[in-house]
A and B are shown apart, each in its own frame.
Chain A
């Protein structure tokens, strides 16, 4: 094996080890010096995950989180130097992580936090003008066939757990003792201006926005939202998207129109 391959293998080994071929000026055991590199590699990845998942960390405490992050980092090494996107499948990992089984909503919160980071760094885009929206609304025949392009930061998540309330309690928006984690909630995650906003929305809104994200026509999205949530209100939900500048394109089943 080549020198750097041996070096890398020893860095990644589960048990402390030291590659051959290293020297020290004072004849000291190079293993202790090599451990500095091993430590840097794993700690920097744990720190990156701690930055991305602050609420997940607070829910289980620092020690437990760092142990879990260490296990993740050993199993899922980064493949890119862009560490902002490291930890993309952390929620799936947490979901199957037995030591965390007593906190069943942990992976759901992690999934929400991943959406937060994705929204934070998502591409910039300008919303359509209010005039374009007014023109669309004034044409009821075309309305059902209209498809929207939503802002790249927009995402929706539905969960069996109170993800928005749990998250909000860690932003000092409410007290954690007031939260029943076992109440299903849906979240709208989007960047408004320079800040990421997480809002609790109704199941119908969640279904509607999820379908718009997939570029399904408005008519079909309304049908799907109404079928799961009889209280779905199109005007309210569209109003929410318009006020937050979330609609960045409108087209009609195919060719783009301004």
Chain B
């Protein structure tokens, strides 16, 4: 692990600056849960919002987020910047992000290795890009632009994908490693996305995980997938965020925690939102796994 770390020179203090979220579990904030959270003060490390949902002028969303933010650490997670897109980033959208980040001063800002706009059309999905030298240059330029505009370093999330491009000349992990090295951004390790993509492309999730710049991980995402089949009858997993975290993903999370140590871990649920206590149960499971890890390290130091 230390050997891998030396490949990524920013792993020291500089990497810590990509996110200052506590190494605890968090939950994606949903309007359905605003009042319950304020009434019960659940024991969580942080909440995460989708930036675009709060790009409105006023009203209840800002009212409740303002109160929740006073009590909890906050992660702002963008889904609309289109960092992997062929066109330039939208200056309007960067401005909206700057206003939102200035207002709430989140402990972390993250976006996706994906594109979601083309020309003047917003496609509202996280779409895959070919891993080529051109894409690498474009993605790095976009991240440089985001980091200088927002005056902070961001985390980049590994994608869940359903197809690959014949034109790709990098493996996804290699591409991500290169982006992180060139831009100094951190990695938002989406463990569900790793599992989904690896099943969809016939690779080994554990090997994929080990090939990532683990020392640069600033946050982990956990979510549920749904299952379909492709034209050959093989499993095709869909990153649907509409069900509990699958047992295979919990196993992979344990594997990831073994590499990263305790790190801010978000339970994401964006569809079929259940009662808050259901999400809380999953969050407590993640916290327990982090605590067990710390206990193990205390008794049997891994890094001696």
Residues of A within 8 A of B (CB): 2-5, 7-8, 11-12, 21-34, 36-37, 40-41, 44-45, 48, 77-85, 120-125, 152-153, 191, 194
User: Do residues B118 and A30 form an inter-chain contact, with CB atoms below 8 A?
Assistant: no
Residue in chain B with minimal CB distance to A32 = B231
* Residues in chain B near residue A124, CB distance under 8 A: 57-59, 62-63
Residue in chain B with minimal CB distance to A4 = B86
In the docked arrangement, what's the CA distance between A27 and B86, Å? 27
User: Do residues A33 and B236 form an inter-chain contact, with CB atoms below 8 A?
Assistant: yes
In the docked arrangement, what's the CA distance between A30 and B200, Å? 11
- On chain B, the number of residues with a Cβ less than 8 Å from chain A's Cβ atoms is 50
User: Do residues A81 and B116 form an inter-chain contact, with CB atoms below 8 A?
Assistant: yes
Which of these, B58, B60, B118, B124, contacts A81 with CB under 8 Å?
B124
User: Do residues B60 and A32 form an inter-chain contact, with CB atoms below 8 A?
Assistant: no
B125 beta carbon closer than 8 Å to chain A: yes
User: Do residues A33 and B52 form an inter-chain contact, with CB atoms below 8 A?
Assistant: no
* Residues in chain A near residue B60, CB distance under 8 A: 120, 194
Evaluate whether A82 and B56 lie within 8 angstroms (CB atoms) in the complex, with A28-B234, A33-B230, A194-B63 already known.
yes
Evaluate whether A23 and B96 lie within 8 angstroms (CB atoms) in the complex, with A4-B86, A84-B53, A123-B58 already known.
no
Evaluate whether A7 and B127 lie within 8 angstroms (CB atoms) in the complex, with A34-B163, A152-B57 already known.
yes
Chain A nearest CB, measured from B236 CB (Å): 6
B166 beta carbon closer than 8 Å to chain A: yes
User: Do residues A23 and B166 form an inter-chain contact, with CB atoms below 8 A?
Assistant: yes
Besides the known contacts A36-B238, A82-B56, A121-B59, 8 further A-B residue pairs in the complex with CB atoms under 8 A apart = A2-B86, A21-B166, A31-B231, A48-B124, A78-B124, A79-B120, A81-B117, A124-B62
* Residues in chain B near residue A40, CB distance under 8 A: 124-125
B301 beta carbon closer than 8 Å to chain A: no
B55 beta carbon closer than 8 Å to chain A: yes
In the docked arrangement, what's the CA distance between A85 and B56, Å? 9
Which of these, A26, A78, A121, contacts B202 with CB under 8 Å?
A26
Which of these, A26, A29, A36, A41, contacts B162 with CB under 8 Å?
A36
Chain B nearest CB, measured from A87 CB (Å): 13
